[in-house]
Amino acid sequence: MASRLIESLASTEALAELFSDHSILRALLQFEVALATVESRLGVIPTSAAQSIAASANPDAFDTAELSRKSLRAGTPSIPFVKALMERVRSTNKSAADFVHWGATSQDVSDTALILLLKQSESLIDADLARCEKALRALSERHRDTMMLGRTLLQAAPPTTFGLKAAGWLGAVRRGRERLAHAFAEALVIQFGGAVGTLAMLGDKGSIVARELATELKLAYPDAPWHTHRDRLGALICVCGVLTGSLGKIARDVSLLMQTEVGEASEPAGEGRGGSSTMPHKRNPIGCAMTTAAATRVPGMVASYLTAMAQEHERSVGGSQSEWPTVAAVIQATGLAAASVAEITEGLTVDTARMRRNLDETRGIVFAEKVMTLLSGKLDREKAHQLLEVAARKVVDEKRTLAEVLAGMSEIRDLLDKADLQQLAEAEDYLGSAESFRVDSLRVASSASPKS
């Protein structure tokens, strides 16, 4: 993995490599070569200069450690990077060195390099979200009739189906994926404005060069340079925050279902995955842990980005400098969450028997609401509620079923048929519109595909 050990729990291997020094340097060079190519094509700089710049753009020839040290002094990686590129060009074509970075400013190259990296990250994240969707759809269909306890405030509640729960997860992932696709489409625009966003150095060819540069880099062309207008990136970062929250919700649910005393589902296991350094029997929810950790970190980073958006005039003091590490960390955390949930859902083991047993072990107490419905019109609502509270306590204290307790309570027994009491524990009769909601959720999730 390209990241440091301390960052090993903060990214996937692919995204760590994408935001590695070598990859960032390659993106910076891509901008400079494309700029020189376009300017030579339009007659702004000599063709020979563009050729020399392209020939010097080998990322392996740059000392990234030295660039890092100089970046801290310069306040931006762009300044020492451009100087290093000029030196390389000068070593083979002295006159061509003057045309390196022609008409651009430091933020042009750094912002556009970041956008180029984001463009590559989109497909990586989307591929894992597509895996999530496919796996969740399959889980929902497979478990359309799998009964389980609903849980509110971590307490047993009336039954639902695991198929509906998986469909709910699917809907959140699909909505997040659609938002992300839209946010990327809006954010992937070139940055090229020169010193103050006018490209004055290029005279009347500024906008022409900018359009051609966008085409060369396969990026969208904005209405104007956006040095201190960070709303497009801000929207992308916020969408990542919402998406990781949705993925974190799935991880939270699965980890709770994996608790020993619940035991209704479990992550896929594998070599080096989910074990404990001291307790050999454990099968820990590692994918859930990685996802939850990402969902915990990202909101603070979203706030950090939004705080930096109030940038002054045409170029800011500290605003743009704060963004590179924040954006990189948010994208990597989002990608890690997506990859982790994809692995979880693709290999999730569902214990349907345990789900039913946990439901049955409530002794029917979760059907107190059902009894309220049966008593409607026969007994005052408040009185019925009070009687059922008493019945519920007896179920717990006396280890009897709700039907047995109610059969012994004259205030209720005389109002309900014996058949009604016998059917209390039939969970299938108290699912309401669960299947309809599940089907509709899957239908809506199929109606729009951001990357079909």
What CATH number does the domain containing 42 carry? 1.10.275.10
Band (pLDDT 50/70/90 cuts) for residue 271 is low
Question: Is residue 1 predicted with pLDDT exceeding 50?
Answer: no
Contacts 24+ apart (CB under 8 A), 64-71: 64/21, 64/22, 64/25, 67/25, 68/21
**CA angle 279-280-286, nearest 5°?**
80
Residues in the chain: 452
**Tokens 């969707």 -> residue:** 133
Q: How far apart are CA 303 and CA 305, in angstroms?
A: 5
What is the set of active-site residues?
Answer: 276, 315
Q: How far apart are CA 106 and CA 162, in angstroms?
A: 53
Q: Are residues 307 and 438 in the same domain?
A: yes
Residue 2 covered by a domain = no
380 by Cβ neighbours in 10 Å (0-12 / 13-18 / 19+) ranks as exposed
Q: Are residues 169 and 280 in the same domain?
A: yes
- Mean pLDDT for 309-315 is 91
**Spatial CA neighbour of 250 closest among 179, 345, 356:** 345
> Tens digit of pLDDT for each residue in 237-267?
999 999 999 999 999 999 999 999 999 999 9
Residue 375 covered by a domain = yes
* 8 Å CB contact between 343 and 287: yes
Q: Are residues 131 and 252 in the same domain?
A: yes
Q: How far apart are CA 108 and CA 277, in angstroms?
A: 49
Question: Is residue 274 predicted with pLDDT exceeding 70?
Answer: no
Band (pLDDT 50/70/90 cuts) for residue 88 is very high
State residue 410's pLDDT score: 87
* CA-based R_g, the chain, Å: 30
Q: Are residues 274 and 126 in the same domain?
A: yes
Q: Are residues 284 and 414 in the same domain?
A: no
- Mean pLDDT for 410-422 is 83
Residue 9 covered by a domain = no
* Identity of the amino acid at 334: T
Residue 36 covered by a domain = yes
**Spatial CA neighbour of 215 closest among 417, 38, 400:** 38
Q: Are residues 216 and 338 in the same domain?
A: no
State residue 280's pLDDT score: 44
Q: Are residues 404 and 414 in the same domain?
A: yes
Q: Domain tally for the chain?
A: 3
Question: Is residue 193 predicted with pLDDT exceeding 80?
Answer: yes
Beta strand 147-152 with 155-161: parallel, antiparallel or unpaired? antiparallel
- Mean pLDDT for 121-133 is 98
Q: Are residues 203 and 261 in the same domain?
A: no
Residue 82 covered by a domain = yes
Q: Are residues 60 and 119 in the same domain?
A: no
Q: Are residues 24 and 40 in the same domain?
A: yes
Band (pLDDT 50/70/90 cuts) for residue 284 is confident
Residue 110 covered by a domain = no
299: which 2 tokens? 């909101």
State residue 138's pLDDT score: 98
> Tens digit of pLDDT for each residue in 194-229?
999 999 999 999 999 999 999 999 999 999 999 999
> Tens digit of pLDDT for each residue in 375-408?
888 888 899 999 999 999 999 999 999 999 998 9
Residues 6+ apart with CB under 8 A from 279: none
* 8 Å CB contact between 231 and 239: no
Question: Is residue 350 predicted with pLDDT exceeding 80?
Answer: yes
Instruction: Give the domain range for residue 392.
Output: 365-424
State residue 11's pLDDT score: 94
Q: Are residues 47 and 157 in the same domain?
A: no
State residue 33's pLDDT score: 98
Beta strand 147-152 with 349-350: parallel, antiparallel or unpaired? unpaired
- Mean pLDDT for 135-151 is 97
* Identity of the amino acid at 221: Y
Q: Are residues 321 and 349 in the same domain?
A: yes
Share above pLDDT 70 across residues of the chain, in percent, rounded to a whole number: 95
**Spatial CA neighbour of 219 closest among 123, 79, 120:** 120
Query: Cβ atoms within 10 A of the Cβ of 132, count?
Result: 28
What CATH number does the domain containing 375 carry? 1.10.40.30
State residue 452's pLDDT score: 44
Residue 167 covered by a domain = yes
Q: For the chain, what is the HEC assignment?
A: CCCCHHHCCCCCHHHHHHCCHHHHHHHHHHHHHHHHHHHHHCCCCCHHHHHHHHHCCCHHHCCHHHHHHHHHHHCCCHHHHHHHHHHHHHCCCHHHHHHCCCCCCHHHHHHHHHHHHHHHHHHHHHHHHHHHHHHHHHHHHHCCCCEEEEEECCEEEEEEEHHHHHHHHHHHHHHHHHHHHHHHHHHCECCCCCCCCCCHHHHHHHHHHHHHHHHHHCCECCCCCCCCCCHHHHHHHHHHHHHHHHHHHHHHHHHHHCCCCCCCEECCCECCECCCCCCCCCCCCHHHHHHHHHHHHHHHHHHHHHHCCCCCCCCCCCHHHHHHHHHHHHHHHHHHHHHHHHHHHHCCEECHHHHHHHHHCCCCHHHHHHHHHHHCCCCCHHHHHHHHHHHHHHHHHHCCCHHHHHHCCHHHHCCCCHHHHHCCCCHHHHCCCHHHHHHHHHHHHHHCCCCC
Q: How far apart are CA 362 and CA 150, in angstroms?
A: 12
Mean pLDDT of the chain: 92
Beta bridge partners of 350: 265
Phi first, then psi, for residue 157 (nearest 5°) are -135, 180
Residue 13 covered by a domain = no
345: which 2 tokens? 């859902």
Question: Is residue 276 predicted with pLDDT exceeding 60?
Answer: no
